[in-house]
Amino acid sequence: MKKTLLASVALTVLAGVAWAADDEKAIQALVDQYISTGYQQGEKQHLERLKQDETLITCSETRNIPSPEQAKAIIEREKATIKYPEGNKMLGNWEKGKEVFNTGFAMRVGVISPDKADKPRGGNCYACHAADPKEVAAGNIGNSLTGYGKMRGNSEETVKYTYDKIFNSQSMMACSNMPRFGHNGVLSPEQIADLVAFLVDPASPVNK
Amino acid sequence: MKNVLLPGLLISSLALTAVYAAEEPNADAYREMTYGDRDANPALLVVDRGEELFKEKRGPKAVSMEECDFGLGKGVVKGVYAELPRYFQDTDRVQDLESRMITCMTTVQGFDEAELKKKTYANEKANEDNTDLEAIAVYIASQSDGMKINPPTAHPKEQEMIKVGEALFYHRTGPLDFSCASCHGADQKRIRLQNLGNFSKAGKDAQKAIGGWPTYRVSHAAVRTMQHRIWDCEGQMRLPDTEYGAPLSVALIAYLTAQAKDGTYVLPGMSR
Amino acid sequence: MASVKLKAKVLEGGLVEVKALMTHPMETGLRKDSATGELVPAHYITEVVVTANDKEVLKTNWGGSVSKNPYLAFNYKGAAGDKVKLTWKDNKDATDSAELTVE
């Protein structure tokens, strides 16, 4: 026993992390199998969330580096999903947007404090983005949005660009790290319009 | 949660006034001040409790866990965590510490698996004490304190598990389209002020994270194990509750531990 | 299981360093039970006394603001061979202690 162990340790050292002859399909089959058995069952677990759409399948397989053809297909597909608020009013209220930007409450399932239906959701944007310079506890996974409106103005074009980006980030950049907030139903079109206002309104602290 | 974070924020914002231009904000100074003294780690109390549970004759068969094999032979505790996850012939599976504990407690001690899994983690919101599973896990893991992170990778099943874990690491799903790599795929990233290790590459980030886990989470006032870590991360990704010890979590742990190879275990850990 | 983990060692300059971890929920009395909405009654250590050879070297009054499983560390003037004993009492009149001989 001890001898075999020593031998295997020695082998490991020599080989580093040496893969067995592998087959991507076999690994992917195990991935699917482990996902199907990896979570607790039951209605409140919302297991439908584990189903990937075509876009996420491509992003997972390519580790977020799709080929130019794949990227083009994703962008076209995702663009078609964008829905606008009533009357195409893409510029909402920045003060409401400030709340949505800051609030982290959304989409919890399972055993710990699932979402209350009547509690408004947020985008938890500070988790990844800086915005109001007074908020120092901002993450840096996304780029800083401080001065966003000062730099880009608040033209119709900028407003639409910003709305589209938040509603479906992958309509502009295939396999973007950013959640597709509107497409996935995390935020409503009106909430996204409020976020747009928070970013571009000259009165918003983002642009002070 | 927010309240617990506050002292850290206060201190780091003080530090910020001095070095704002030079440094990204973080809470390192607070952490060093709080966790510098290893004797101050309340996990040590839980380790003691875990040792008693481990050695006690328990379960319908009234045997102690010293009758179990965690990879280095029956009764061996020292150093086993340093060489997990590993392939076990008796179950024909790659197992991490916690899934192996379940095997031991069901086959050797005669406990019922479903019963054991009913309450895996202490609920910090209810100020609960650690569960028996958490206590036993941190006891076993702490017997590898100071040792090299050295998961075996010679067996084809071990290699396969790491590969599957790697694929899962990049698997995007759920309402936020996240994979593990969304947050842990690049250097020097933070969620708010929380530093995020880059686990897409082997080396120091993974070594630091894996090497310090199980850890006493000060914000939970409880010891947290790797199974809990994976469950908590998946919850933050807005995914369903992970099944304790299932191959999904074991594969992710196998991948992360392989990325941490040659690091050093400093156990029990202590963190935010 | 003893609720107290006590350590002591001799430092330079005639000092003894004492370190102790205490298992205790330290309920503040301000936390609500999420199921019932009721306040969870306060339950915390109110007093910790440490003696060396039966002479008091530290006495401290605590309250609900001290964390769960509290840690206490201090130095006193002493030497190897001292018998150190730590005793805590809480607001429900529970108590526990631990003792050791300084090596």
Rounded CA Rg of chain B: 19
Rounded CA Rg of chain A: 22
Average pLDDT over chain B, rounded to whole? Answer: 91
Domain-embedded: residue A94: yes
Query: Is-contact B74 B232, C-beta < 8 A?
Result: no
State whether C69 and B45 contact (CB < 8 Å): yes
Closest-CA residue of chain B to A104 = B236
The set of chains that have 3 or more CB pairs under 8 A with A is B
Instruction: Say yes or no: A6 contacts chain B, CB-CB below 8 A.
Output: no
CATH code of the domain covering residue A162: 1.10.760.10
The number of folded domains in chain A is 1
Tokens, residue B181: 């790599």
Residues of B in contact with C74 (CB under 8 A): none
From the CB of residue C12, how many other CB atoms can be counted at a distance below 10 Å?
5
Chain A, window 26-65: residues with a beta carbon less than 8 angstroms from a chain B beta carbon: 27-28, 30-31, 33-35, 37-40, 45-47, 49-52, 56, 59-60, 63-64
Q: Which residue bears the tokens 């924020």? A: B9
Domain-embedded: residue A202: yes
Domain-embedded: residue A11: no
State whether B37 and C73 contact (CB < 8 Å): yes
**Residue A191 confidence (pLDDT):** 98
**Residue A17 confidence (pLDDT):** 43
Domains present along chain B, CATH in parentheses: 1-36 (no CATH), 37-271 (1.10.760.10)
**Amino acid identity at B36:** G
Q: Could you give the dihedral angle defined by the CA atoms of residues B255, B261, B263 and B266, in that order, rounded to the nearest 10 degrees?
A: 50
Domain-embedded: residue A24: no
Residue A16 φ then ψ, to 5°: 65, -140
**Amino acid identity at A97:** G
Q: Taking the CA atoms of B142, B143, B144 and B146 in sequence, report the sign of the dihedral they define.
A: positive
**Minimum-distance CB partner of B42 among C19, C21, C27:** C21
The CA distance from A58 to the nearest CA of chain B, in Å, is: 10
Report whether pLDDT(A4) > 80.
Answer: no
Instruction: Say yes or no: B3 contacts chain C, CB-CB below 8 A.
Output: no
**Residue B24 confidence (pLDDT):** 58
pLDDT per residue as tens digits for the range C34-61: 889 999 999 999 999 999 999 999 999 9
State whether B243 and A39 contact (CB < 8 Å): yes
Q: Which residue bears the tokens 């006193």? A: C76
Catalytic residues of B: 233
Domains present along chain C, CATH in parentheses: 4-101 (2.60.40.10)
Summarize the confidence of residues B18-33 as an average pLDDT.
Answer: 59
From the CB of residue B4, how many other CB atoms can be counted at a distance below 10 Å?
15
Chain B, window 169-198: residues with a beta carbon less than 8 angstroms from a chain A beta carbon: 170-179, 181-183, 186, 188-194, 196
Confidence of residue A107 (pLDDT cuts 50, 70, 90): confident
**Residue B272 confidence (pLDDT):** 83
DSSP calls for B50-94: HHHHHHS-BTTTTB-GGG-BSSSSBT--TTTGGG-SEEETTTTEE
> How far is residue A52's CA from residue A58's CA, in Å, rounded to a whole number?
10
Instruction: Say yes or no: A186 contacts chain B, CB-CB below 8 A.
Output: yes
Confidence of residue A23 (pLDDT cuts 50, 70, 90): confident
Instruction: Say yes or no: B129 contacts chain C, CB-CB below 8 A.
Output: yes
pLDDT per residue as tens digits for the range B108-165: 999 999 999 999 999 999 999 999 999 999 999 999 999 999 999 999 999 999 999 9
How many residue contacts between B and C have a Cβ separation below 8 Å? 40
**Residue A113 confidence (pLDDT):** 63
Domain-embedded: residue A20: no
Confidence of residue B23 (pLDDT cuts 50, 70, 90): low
For residue A171, the enclosing domain spans 86-207
State whether B159 and A18 contact (CB < 8 Å): yes
pLDDT per residue as tens digits for the range B159-199: 999 999 999 999 999 999 999 999 999 999 999 999 999 99
Q: Can you give the pTM of this predicted structure?
A: 0.90
Residue B69 φ then ψ, to 5°: -110, 115
Question: How many helices (H) and strands (E) are present in chain C, helices listed first?
Answer: 0, 7
Report whether pLDDT(A139) > 60.
Answer: yes
**Minimum-distance CB partner of A184 among B24, B177, B234:** B177
State whether B174 and A110 contact (CB < 8 Å): no
Domain-embedded: residue A53: no
